[in-house]
Amino acid sequence: MFERFTDRARRVVVLAQEEARLLNHNYIGTEHLLLGLLSEGEGVAARALAALNVTPEAARAQVKSMVSGGTEAPPAGYIPFTPRAKKALELSLRNALGLGHSFIGTEHILLGLVQEGSEAEAGVAVGVLHALGAEPDAIRQQVMAQISVPGPGGAWSRTASSSQDPPTGPLCPQCRALTTETVHTAAITIPSPEGELLPLVAVYCGMCGATYTLLPGSPAAEP
């Protein structure tokens, strides 16, 4: 679905859609992404959450206690992402770049969810994690404990002893501009194989114009 996503990360998005359908929700929110990460079961994110005693069953029960189910099944086909979920996916890219990774894995999606919930009023996913005793700092520590950051081009490695300071933020892989200051988004449409126009959001560097990734557009409002 997204060119930078690993197979596991793409499966998480598919599972998030299935979780939304099971709850009769016509949107994919941060809570569905969290449930998708847990349902995937084998990625870095799932292992990090398991280490914090967060199980799919407990998280699903907590979601149901916080968000009511829909009264009608969502229509077949594409289910839009909420603004919060879309932001979390955008932040997953920033976290991947900040770690020197050219891919977006389940760990980056989890870090994006945590960061999104920390930058504003907590979304449903962060609320669920808090209720289950998994706080943002502990989640980040568990993720970092299970991954080894590659160091090409002098990238910071958290597993090696070094006197260097870590970078102040992720850089554009093309022009090396700080992405936290230059990242932009734009609504676009592309034709599907059936001839329909699909809404997307392009995430790109405002300095050089390099496209980082494409995300589903037409977001729904998250409760």
What is residue 46's predicted lDDT score, i.e. its pLDDT? Answer: 92
What is residue 67's predicted lDDT score, i.e. its pLDDT? Answer: 83
Burial bucket for residue 10 (CB in 10 Å: 0-12, 13-18, 19+): middle
Greater confidence, 58 or 116? 58
- Determine the average pLDDT of the residues in 107-131: 84
- Contact predicate 78/203, CB 8 Å: no
Dump pLDDT digits (tens) for 33-77: 999 999 988 888 999 999 999 999 999 999 998 887 666 666 666
Dump pLDDT digits (tens) for 82-100: 888 988 988 898 888 887 7
Alpha carbon of residue 114 to chain centroid = 9
Number of H helices, E strands in the chain: 9, 3
CATH number assigned to the domain comprising residue 107: 1.10.1780.10
- Residue the block writes with tokens 């079961």: 41
Dump pLDDT digits (tens) for 163-193: 333 444 566 666 666 655 566 677 776 666 6
- Contact predicate 4/102, CB 8 Å: yes
Q: Is 35 inside a domain boundary? A: yes
Interhelix angle 124-131/106-119, nearest 10 degrees: 100
Q: Is 159 inside a domain boundary? A: no
What is residue 3's predicted lDDT score, i.e. its pLDDT? Answer: 72
Residue type, 153: G
Q: Is 176 inside a domain boundary? A: no
- Determine the average pLDDT of the residues in 119-135: 83
- Given a cut of 80, is residue 137 above it in pLDDT? yes
Q: 129 lies in which domain range?
A: 7-151
Q: What are phi and psi of 154, to 5 degrees?
A: 80, 15
Q: What is the largest CA-CA distance in the chain?
A: 57
Q: What percent of the chain has pLDDT over 70?
A: 65
Q: How far apart are the first and last CA of the chain?
A: 26
Mean per-residue pLDDT over the chain, rounded: 75
* Count of domains forming the chain: 1
Dump pLDDT digits (tens) for 139-148: 888 888 877 5
Band of pLDDT at residue 101, cut at 50, 70 and 90:
confident
Q: Is 136 inside a domain boundary? A: yes
Q: Is 17 inside a domain boundary? A: yes
Whole-model pTM over 0.85: no
Q: Is 138 inside a domain boundary? A: yes
Band of pLDDT at residue 220, cut at 50, 70 and 90:
very low
Contacts of 2 (CB under 8 A, 6+ apart): 9, 10, 13, 104, 213, 214, 215
Q: Is 166 inside a domain boundary? A: no
What is residue 196's predicted lDDT score, i.e. its pLDDT? Answer: 72
Band of pLDDT at residue 14, cut at 50, 70 and 90:
confident
Q: Is 92 inside a domain boundary? A: yes
**Measuring CA to CA, which residue among 155, 152, 48 is closest to residue 105?**
48
Rg from Cα positions in the chain: 17
